[in-house]
Amino acid sequence: MKHFLTLLDITPDEARHILKRAEKMKRKLREGKAFRPLEGKTLAMIFDKASTRTRVSFEVGMYQLGGHALFLHSATTQLGRGEPVEDSARVLSGMVDGVMIRTFAHDTIQRFAEYSSVPVINGLTDLTHPCQILTDVFTYEEQRGSIEGKTVAWVGDGNNMAHSWINGAVTFGYQLRIACPPGYCPDDKTLSAARALGADVTLTDDPLEAVANADLVTTDVWASMGQEDEQAERVKAFAGFCVDARTMSYAGPDALFMHCLPAHRGEEVSADVIDGAQSVVWTEAENRLHAQKGLLEFLMA
Ligand code: CP
Ligand code: NVA
């Protein structure tokens, strides 16, 4: 039994296996062929934060795999009234076959996993968003072939997405260049742990330096969920960090643009880039379904 709290919980070979299976399942779905390895299985999905893509992709994914997903918002469960995470983990894992959690503190999901006897999947914490990077690598490779040795440029906040890109450099062997304004760099611990495992990650405060000749340019909101009060000060701090046509002109000629969504046009990305020819954000969003079906099969079948 395995949990998926960060990308480092699975080996590079396991990640490759998941993406291969995802590709196969995407193809089968397109051909209209049913594939139900999770018949009779259930996934509880606990949300402490809003979601569109994560909820829909896990719920539809479980249905397509022959199983069932339960949407639990913390506000309408006893978790929201203070029932300890450790107790909820033991109760839920007596009834369901897997649990996906989207929450604030990463420690919450770690405590849940410690007491859970079924696989726990991280659907985003303040620290990481590993399902999104599995998806983004899947999306890159679908369009351009292996990501190994390619250059990924992250422009913006050193947030949960940036941390998962850092972990992904260990798993998938791409070079990662991160551009953040001072004070908004990624977590030191995440960075040094990944570097110790061989990740090739460089930091700069110059977006154009990060993007130079990159194969993939990616960004995310400046104020993540839970940071709404910092929006105005972040807009000031991130001036010059909008991924626009000029930024993209420094990237390689075949560079793709990705964004986990939701996006703020005119802040972290200009409308002409996110809606332009290099952007693959809609395929990226759809691929949450396929990549996570690979993950669900791996963890729960
Ligand atoms: N990218 C992503 O996780 O989207 P949601 O917040 O809509 O789930
Ligand atoms: N960094 C964003 C990602 C949303 C999918 C957030 O945590 O709100």
Q: Is the ipTM of this complex over 0.95?
A: yes
Q: What is the 3-state secondary structure (H, E, C) of 245-265?
A: HHHHHCCCCCCEEEECCCCCE
CA 125, chain centre distance (Å): 10
The per-residue pLDDT for 74 is 86
The per-residue pLDDT for 99 is 98
Superfamily covering domain 132-284: Aspartate/ornithine carbamoyltransferase (3.40.50.1370)
134 in contact with ligand 1, CB cutoff 6 A: no
CA distance 239 to 200: 27
The per-residue pLDDT for 248 is 98
220 counts as catalytic: yes
The per-residue pLDDT for 211 is 98
Q: Which residue ranges of the chain lie beneath pLDDT 70?
A: none
Q: Which residues line ligand 2 (CB under 6 A)?
A: 124, 159-161, 220-221, 224-225, 260
Exposure b/e, 256-294, CB count within 10 A at least 16 = b = bbbbbbebbeebbbbeebbeeebbbbeebbebbbbbbbb
Domain ranges of the chain: 12-129+287-300, 132-284
> pLDDT tens across 116-149, in order?
999 999 999 999 999 999 999 999 999 999 999 9
Q: Looking at domain 12-129+287-300, which of 2.130.10.10, 1.10.10.10, 3.40.50.1370, 3.30.70.100 is its CATH number?
A: 3.40.50.1370
